[in-house]
Structure 1
């Protein structure tokens, strides 16, 4: 067959199914073939369908190999899990690479994590995030609420017993020792005692009812007629009678001097003493009548109503205040400890503790103040951590022994578990690498197919 414009037929190189690649000649002319003539339109390439696998096998095989290589590599790292022996000799590469070097791997993992990830600066940053003010406040509030709930649910009164022991030790042991030391100071309780003296004692004054009750108590209980009679007897001793008689004789004048020197007081006072001793009932009756006649109760009541430290001179008031302050300080220094110990022994502290806890349980202030307490404690902790966080982290890292913990965890994990963990990571997080391996395998296979076609032509 001739091509228009050409004088001789052309030949075309094509694929002959049984004989491979060869030359298909133009049947109309016996001229020598022209290899790969681009103008030959009578030649037809014949392809045997049984040899298509030579073209499709490389990309398919490359894709399969590339896709499953990662899983195979992981298995080769871990398998076999244990050494295999033939006789007494261990087969090479058994166990797998990772099981055989698991201890060294654990050390490397620990060094990598502690050197690159959990550095002191990173630990400080984590500590700041963990100890954020709101988190700390929430934790403290949770602990306070939990403590309050435990106190409310305490059926065996354990909390009450602990609180009772604390109160007993505080009042009976700690406070007395503290007071003995503090009472040696000159200004101990000075402001408090001055305030008590100025606001209570200095302004204290009995009203009419109080003065009446006090005067009645004085005349009926403190100084009844029998007590007055006994006081007269005790006062009129022989010596006192002699002193009174001599003084009366020496210091009187005029008519009184004549009476004192003629009659004297010795016999009169002696007879009065004898009468008080012999006639008790009559003496008491006479004294009672005398007090009533003299209006002793009314006079005493009026005197008590007018009694006030404000009526005294300022210098006297100041001296009284200083005297009271010194007396209180001396008493506390010398006998305050014994007084507090005796007071502590006389108090049933368990009942006091139960009362305090019951009051706390029922108090609405406790529930409302928890938020404020937790906030203040969180602020205090934050200020402390701002100053000493670096020092604390430096001290905490050796205590936690994170590197040793990592080594022990990696060393204690079985090879099977490590393999499963790596496979899960590859499957969930590194699936793109697996897919990329399959794609690269297909690309390489296509490249090989192209080489086959190129060499065939």
Structure 2
């Protein structure tokens, strides 16, 4: 059951004052001849002295809050800045030092548990249809509102970056050396050459009908329009059956005949060697560098005038069709799931854990608890600071006041008669024995067990 210590203290103070007044009047009335009235007066006055000594000591911690009374100012208002600084340093050193915080995080595996909690929260929300719909709607609105501007700005940024790089010969040379090295490394590998030949053969096998038809028509047009042979050339073509079927047979032979493939590989090696020599040629490099900015400007202009408007229009049409939102939602959720999976894989790895630990250590060491606590304490009004101290003492200051009155009453009994010192001495002896026993018990609790 909760006890109202403030009310209890007030009643004790009033009772002690009332008893002292009553006994004082009676003692005065009987001129000090009545032993009982004199003893009561002495005992109650001693109690008042003990009580109000502690009462004034506690009040003098905060009063007066402003100005001085007889040269005295409250200890807390007077030394508020020093108290704030000392309290902040104590909190930083004893309670919230970086080592204590890091040890707390490591002992309770807060990094792993926090990561798992975030992952579970993401999973729950991504499985919620309402959340998925809101995310999709937000993404669509954002793309509709900011998409064209983002595309335009991205294009401008890329173009300006490329132009700036084109004006820097050192950057161009570095890029050129890197690109040339990648091309050479790719073409020098026998596996890559075989891969290139195989893909060319597969492409030809798939596209033979279309290619042969195109070559046949191109040859006819060439013979009819570009040369003076005219019908003579067409006649020769027909005589030698150099038609679509013949072209198809040539292409099929290239795609299937191993001997032809070997010849193609030999030709490819020659092309690669020639390409490498061309790439290493200073004239080729200078020509590319000289025309690079012009190429970039032309490509940028073409993209901005033709491709970008069409891209914006197609994107807008796609976003305005709600039938596409389901696909957007699935793509977005899959991307988020993939991102979450990759992030968890990285964070749960040894390198990820070490990185998180370093980040937390850096953040904790940068957190200046001393300044934070000091500024907060200084910002408190004196009344707020007093209330905070009194609230956190849990009524202990009130108990100290009452205890002072009780001790004063006990001391007053000794003043009445020395014989009262005997039970008081016995009480003090009991208190001393209890104190010693408590010390020994605490000392034994701190000692390690044998064999531990």
TM-score by structure 1 length?
A: 0.56
Distance in 1 (CA, whole Å) between partners of 2:386 and 2:403 is: 25
- For residues 63-121 of structure 1, give each alpha carbon's deviation from its aligned partner in whole angstroms, at most 9, with x where no partner exists: 9964x76664332111111114xxxxx8400x312212222222322333334333342
Deviation at 1:448, TM superposition (A): 3.4
Distance in 2 (CA, whole Å) between partners of 1:92 and 1:157 is: 70
Distance in 1 (CA, whole Å) between partners of 2:89 and 2:79 is: 15
Q: Any residues of structure 2 matched to 1:228-247 within 5 Å, and which?
A: 230-231=226-227, 233=228
Q: 1:188 aligns with which of 158, 168, 185?
A: 185
Q: Does 1:133 find its partner at 2:112? A: yes
Q: Kindly tell me: are residues 148 and 423 of structure 1, through their superposed partners in 2, closer, same or farther at Cα, counting changes over 3 Å?
A: same
Deviation at 1:200, TM superposition (A): 0.7
Q: Is the 8 A contact 1:78 1:96 kept in 2?
A: yes
Q: Is the 8 A contact 1:64 1:441 kept in 2?
A: yes
Distance in 1 (CA, whole Å) between partners of 2:32 and 2:210 is: 144
Q: 1:296 aligns with which of 222, 237, 242?
A: 242
Q: Is the 8 A contact 1:80 1:96 kept in 2?
A: yes
Distance in 2 (CA, whole Å) between partners of 1:226 and 1:351 is: 40
Q: Which residue of 2 aligns with 1:58?
A: 43
Q: Which residue of 1 aligns with 2:145?
A: 157
Distance in 1 (CA, whole Å) between partners of 2:418 and 2:200 is: 123
Q: Is the 8 A contact 2:46 2:408 kept in 1?
A: no
Deviation at 1:138, TM superposition (A): 4.8
Q: Which residue of 2 aligns with 1:320?
A: 267
Q: Kindly tell me: are residues 305 and 313 of structure 1, through their superposed partners in 2, closer, same or farther at Cα, counting changes over 3 Å?
A: closer
Q: Which residue of 1 aligns with 2:427?
A: none
RMSD: 5.1
Distance in 2 (CA, whole Å) between partners of 1:164 and 1:131 is: 44
Deviation at 1:374, TM superposition (A): 3.9
Q: Which residue of 2 aligns with 1:12?
A: none
Q: Is the 8 A contact 1:163 1:353 kept in 2?
A: no
Structure 2 unaligned blocks of 5 or more: 1-29, 167-171, 421-452
The alignment partner of 2:205 has SS state of: coil
Distance in 2 (CA, whole Å) between partners of 1:341 and 1:193 is: 34
TM-score by structure 2 length?
A: 0.57
Deviation at 1:206, TM superposition (A): 3.4
Higher relative contact order (Cα pairs below 8 Å, separated by 6+ residues)? 2
Q: Kindly tell me: are residues 151 and 195 of structure 1, through their superposed partners in 2, closer, same or farther at Cα, counting changes over 3 Å?
A: farther
Q: Any residues of structure 2 matched to 1:165-180 within 5 Å, and which?
A: 165-166=153-154, 173=161, 180=176
Q: Which has the higher helix share?
A: 2
Q: Which residue of 2 aligns with 1:413?
A: 380
Q: How many residues align?
A: 345
Greater Rg over alpha carbons, structure: 1
Q: Kindly tell me: are residues 402 and 360 of structure 1, through their superposed partners in 2, closer, same or farther at Cα, counting changes over 3 Å?
A: farther
Distance in 1 (CA, whole Å) between partners of 2:41 and 2:203 is: 118
Q: Kindly tell me: are residues 106 and 123 of structure 1, through their superposed partners in 2, closer, same or farther at Cα, counting changes over 3 Å?
A: same
Q: 1:384 aligns with which of 355, 365, 372?
A: 355
Structure 1 unaligned blocks of 5 or more: 1-17, 22-47, 85-89, 234-275, 277-282
